Amino acid sequence: MFTKDDNKVFDEIIKARWTCRSFTDEVPTKEEIEAIIEAGKAAPYASIASKDVVPFRHFFVMFKDDPRLETIRRLTAEQSAADLEWLLKEEEKDAFLRENARGLETLWGHVAESGAPVTKAPCLIVMAEWRGARRAERQSLAHMLENMWLKATALNLDVMILSIIESMVDNKEFCDLFGLPVGMYGFHACIIGHHKGEGKVAKPCTAEIHWL
Ligand SMILES: Cc1cc2nc3c(=O)[nH]c(=O)nc-3n(C[C@H](O)[C@H](O)[C@H](O)COP(=O)(O)O)c2cc1C
């Protein structure tokens, strides 16, 4: 069904995907965002968990200068401070965390101070997925994000993942922004736009294949 040339292009898109952390003011078009969301809609979902909920998957799109972006910045700062407090308590009883969570402490500390960098986002997409009993929605959201990331890359757009948004599931003010009930939906989010400054810098991959 797919040719060698199709696969060459597919491989190039996968390799071109990267995490952008600084964007120009240029706002993606509605058509581009719709195409990216179509890719997110095509991602797999945990059908047993979600079969009775219609729709079980939502995409909320906000463009630059939307006043809700400042609300989201503030809420993510508060949430990250709460997450950090939880992490420090967990470290008291979890030796692995104690030894390995320094980077996380620093990152969550920065977000607690400044909030997620959404106020100047050219476009922010928040994705919500109905919660499965085994927290399957987190996996579905990750699949959605990867599909969207690759599609954005194919459209010559750049993406930043906003992992703090995963923590907003029980945050009433956040859920109210989207008219969703508290605690019933998992969240994920990304910023989409055009990168400012240097583009992707190739980094060595530390993964290893073990042919057994
Ligand atoms: C689950 C997950 C959480 C991440 N959280 C953050 C984050 O909080 N801040 C950030 O700048 N990048 C975050 N990233 C991006 C990674 O740092 C990035 O994917 C990794 O360094 C590889 O670089 P690349 O995406 O440019 O290939 C996250 C990525 C994943 C998969």
Cβ atoms of residues 180 and 58 within 8 Å: yes
Residues 33-83 pLDDT 10s? 999 999 999 999 987 777 788 899 999 999 999 999 999 999 999 999 999
161 lines ligand 1 (CB under 6 A): yes
How far, in Å, from the CA of 34 to the mean position of ligand 1?
A: 24
How far, in Å, from the CA of 192 to the mean position of ligand 1?
A: 14
For residue 192, which of 109, 125, 95, 104 has the smallest C-alpha distance?
Answer: 125
8 lines ligand 1 (CB under 6 A): no
What is the percentage of the chain residues whose pLDDT exceeds 90? Answer: 89
Mean pLDDT of the chain: 95
Residue closest by Cα to atom 24 of ligand 1: 18
Pocket test residue of 13, 17, 19 for ligand 1, highest count of atoms within 8 A of CB: 19
Q: Would you tell me how many other CB atoms lie within 10 Å of the CB of residue 47?
A: 10
Q: Which amino acid is at 179?
A: G
Question: What pLDDT score does 211 carry?
Answer: 98
- Give me the architecture of the 10-193 domain, per CATH: 3-Layer(aba) Sandwich (3.40)
* Torsion angle (degrees, nearest 10) of CA 31, 32, 36, 37: -30
Beta strands across the sheet bearing 57-63: 57-63, 123-130, 185-193, 158-161
State the pTM of this model: 0.96
Q: Exposed/middle/buried for 102, CB within 10 Å: 0-12, 13-18, 19+? A: exposed
Q: Which amino acid is at 75?
A: L
Residue 204 pLDDT grade (very low, low, confident, very high; cuts 50, 70, 90): confident
For residue 185, which of 36, 79, 60 has the smallest C-alpha distance?
Answer: 60
100 lines ligand 1 (CB under 6 A): no
What single DSSP character describes residue 119?
Answer: T
60 lines ligand 1 (CB under 6 A): no
Residues 101-139 pLDDT 10s? 999 999 999 999 999 999 999 999 999 999 977 789 999
Q: Residue ranges of the domains in the chain?
A: 10-193
Pairwise CA distance, residues 171 & 166, whole Å: 11
